[in-house]
Amino acid sequence: ELKAGMSVQRAIHEGFNRAFTAIIDANLTSLLVGGILFAMGTGPVKGFAVTMSLGIFTSMFTAIMVTRAMVNLTCGGRDIKKLWV
């Protein structure tokens, strides 16, 4: 995005938008597997499915909400000419 001539704020926004679909796709696929494990498994397998699903929800929330908030807190509102990443 930066090489395309976008501003830093716009590049960050576009990067998050492009990553959003990949994050959702990967996590929904894993949640589907967790649902299948829960439906077909017994005892410890169901426990694993629940634990895995909770971990996926937590990581998805972190990836979508917390990371974006931290980047916006760090870079938002400032006139940044170049990213240090």
Residues whose CB falls within 8 Å of the CB of residue 13, separated by 6 or more in sequence, listed in order = none
77 within a domain of the structure (yes/no): no
Helix (H, G, I), strand (E, B) or coil at 65: helix
Measured distance CA(43)–CA(23) in Å, rounded: 30
57 within a domain of the structure (yes/no): yes
pLDDT in tens, 41-75: 999 999 999 999 999 999 999 988 898 888 878 77
pLDDT in tens, 17-42: 888 899 899 999 999 999 999 999 99
Q: How many domains does the chain have?
A: 1
Secondary element (H or E) of residue 18:
helix 8-40
DSSP helix, strand, coil percent of the chain (3-state; round to 5)? 75, 0, 25
Range of the domain at 13: 8-68
